Amino acid sequence: MIIFFNIFLRFFYIFGKKITMMKLWCVGAFSLASFYYAQSYPVSEISDALKKNASAVIRNESTILEINKVDEIVYRNSSAITVINKDAVGFSLPKIYYEKGNTVSNVKVTVYDEKGVKIKSYSKGDFTDVAANSQGSFYSDNRVMYLSYTPTSYPYTIEFSYDQKDQNTVFIQDFTPYNDFNISLQKSSFKVINKSGINFRSKTYDSPFGFASVNISEEDGGKLYTYQNIPAIDQEDMVPSPKKILPKVSFSLDQFNLVGKKGNITTWKDFGLWYYNNLLTPVSVSTPQIKSEITALNLSGSTEEKVKKIYQYMQSKTRYVFVALGIGGWQPMMPDEVQKKGYGDCKGLTNYMKTLLDEAGIKSYYVIINSNSSPISFDIDFPKMGGNHVILVIPTEKGNIWLENTSQEMAYNHLSFSTTDRNVLAVKPDGIEIMETPSYSSQQNKEIQVLNIQLNPDKTITGSGKFTYTGNQYDFNLVFAGLGQAEKNNTIKNTLSTLDFEKVEMYDFKNNRDLATIDFDLNFKAVNYSKMVGSSYIFRAVPIYTNARYHQDENRSLPFENRFSYEDEYEIIYKLPAGYIIEEIPENGNVNSEFGTYKISFEKKEDKLIVKRFFQMKKGLHSKDKYNDYVSFRKKVMNADNSKILISKKS
C-alpha cells in the first residue's frame, strides 16, 4: 500500500490540490525583527549538538510585536541564519510577504562567511518585488519582496531585519521554534507590547514529547517568550510533522480588523457571526443564470441523489485556480464569476457549490479546515483565525455529506487523507459549529489485489492482475486518472518496483466517483522472478509488497506515526509450468502486534498454488521506545512475504 503513498504526495503538490488561503506572513525563519547592533556569527560558535542533522541553524531571531490599536500592529523582525549546506539556501533567503495597506521599512541584509567576516550588505532597493502567486494562481493581492543570493561557499550566515506595519490585526502568527525538518535553533524570542487597550490572549502548548519548552517572562512593559538550544528534527522514518513534536504559543486579540471589517473573536460563536455576515453574506448572491443551471438538471429523488448530481455537474464545468483577492484573501469570489469563468479557488468553488445547493433548496455550510497529511485540529477553547482550506458540509437525515470542491476527479461524499479525522469550523448564520470530519477505518482504506501468474521455466512470470482501492488508498491512486496510457504504464512500472518488469500494461482504469473506488487491471511479464536450485526452482510467496528497509535504532530520539489505518487483501494464484510439482511450501503464518495484524496461507490445488495474504495497519502516534518493536513487526511481515516456495520436475 505505502508504495502508492509517496507517488501520490508528489502529484498532490504538482497539481496544487493542497492550497493555502491564509494571508502569507512568512514570519518564521525568513523574517524576524531588526538587529540594531553588529554581530558576526562565526560558525565555530555553533555547538555540535545544534549542527547534528541541521542544514541550517537559526542563530538568533527576534520578533517585537507592537499592538497600537484595533487596526494597527507593527512587527519589528530580525533573524540570523547560518546555512550549513545547499539544502537550506531557499529557507534562508530574505523574503517579505505583504499586501495593500502594509508598510515595510528599515530593510537590512548582511552576509557573513564561515568565520563571521562580512561579505556584503544589501538594502530594500536590492529586493525584487513580485506578485506572491502560489502555484496555479491567476489573481492575488499578496506580494513578496525577495533578495536573490547565490552562495560561493558553505557555510555562511545571512542576517536580515525589517519592520512591517499592518492594518489587519486578525492574523498573529504562532510562536514556534521552527516549522521544518533539519533546522536547529540557538535562540528565538517573541515580545508582545500591547498599547491598544484590547484584551490580548495567549495559550502555550507544551511539546507532548518533552522535545523543547518555551520560557515566559515580563520585560519592559511587555511579555517575552523565548526558545533556546533546540536541536534539529531529522526526517527519520515515520517521524511526525514538527508541528506535532514542538511546543508553540498561540495569540489572538479579542477585537480585530480585517481590511476595514472589525469584529470580535472572544468566542467561536462571535467569530462565526462576523465571518458569516462580513465574508460570506455579501457574496452569497445567486443570478438568473445559476437558477437556470439548477432547473436544467431536472433534479429528482433523495437529497443525496440531488447533491451528487449537482456536485458532479459543478466538477464537470470548473477547475481549480488560486485566487487571493477580497478582504485579505479570505472572501470567496462571487458565484456568478465562477459560473461565467469556469474556475476558482477552494473558497470560490465552495461558495459556488453552496449557491447551487441553495437554489435547489438544500442547506449546506461553508467549512474552514486545516488541510495537512498529519491531522491538525482547531482548539475549541482558544478561538482564533486559522485554517488553510475550505470544503462544504450538507447535513441530512442519513448523516453529513462532505464535498471537496477543488478536484474534478474526487468522488462524491469523499474526503482525502489530508482532510479526514480532524475538527473543522462550519460557518452558520448563528455562529461557528465545530464539527468532525469522517475518520476512515482500516476496512474502508482498503486494497484488494488478485494476481494470476504463470511460472515459466526460463525464470520469468507472465500474468494479469485486478486491483481495487477504497478510502485513503483511493486517494493515493487518483493520480492515475490524470495520466495518459503511456504515463500510466510507466508510473505503475516504477511504483511496483519489487517486480523486474519486461513489460506492463494498465487497462480498464475506472474512477468510480459515485462510490469512491478505483479499479484497474494489469497485464505483465517480469524476469528473474525464480532461481534455479539444481533442476528445481524457488520463488518468493508475494510478488508485490512494500520493499522498505527497517532497521533497529537504539538511539532514536523522536516518536513515530502511522498516519492512518488500512488493510491489504491479496490473492495470488500461481500456475506451475507443465511437468512440475510443488515440493515445499512455507507454513501458514500469523503475526499480531499493537501496530497491526498479518496473515498468510498456502493451498495446493492441482497444478496451482493459491497464496492468500491479509495485512492490517493501525493508525497511531507512538513513543520512540516502541520503534524497535515496530521494526520487529515489519521485519516479520517482510520475511513472511519473502518466504520461499520450491517446485521440481515430476520424477
What is the mean pLDDT of the segment spanning 96-122?
Answer: 94
44 or 4, which is more confident?
Answer: 44
pLDDT higher than threshold 60 for residue 7: no
Residues 77-87: pLDDT tens digits?
999 999 999 99
β partners of residue 574? 453, 609
- The CATH architecture of the domain made up of 446-649 is Sandwich (2.60)
Residues 9-30: pLDDT tens digits?
333 333 233 333 333 233 333 3
Q: Which residue has the cell 505503475?
A: 492
Report which residue type is found at 208: P
What is the mean pLDDT of the segment spanning 138-162?
Answer: 88
330 or 224, which is more confident?
Answer: 224
C-alpha dist (Å) from residue 266 to 147, 258, 377: 39, 16, 19
3-class SS letters over 121-184: EEEHHHCEEEECCCCCEEEECCEEEECCCCCCCCCEEEEEEEEEEECCCCCCCCECCCCCCCEE
pLDDT score for 28: 32
pLDDT score for 16: 32
Residues 440-467: pLDDT tens digits?
999 999 999 999 999 999 999 999 999 9
What are the domain boundaries of the chain? 23-261, 265-436, 446-649
pLDDT higher than threshold 90 for residue 588: yes
* Cβ neighbourhood burial of 596 (10 Å; 0-12, 13-18, 19+): buried
| Mean pLDDT score of the chain | 90
pLDDT score for 414: 97
pLDDT score for 327: 56
What is the mean pLDDT of the segment spanning 601-628?
Answer: 95
pLDDT score for 320: 87
pLDDT higher than threshold 90 for residue 469: yes
If one looks up domain 265-436 in CATH, what number appears? 3.10.620.30
**DSSP assigned state of 535:** T
- The CATH architecture of the domain made up of 23-261 is Sandwich (2.60)
Residues 342-390: pLDDT tens digits?
999 999 999 999 999 999 999 999 999 999 888 889 999 999 999 999 9
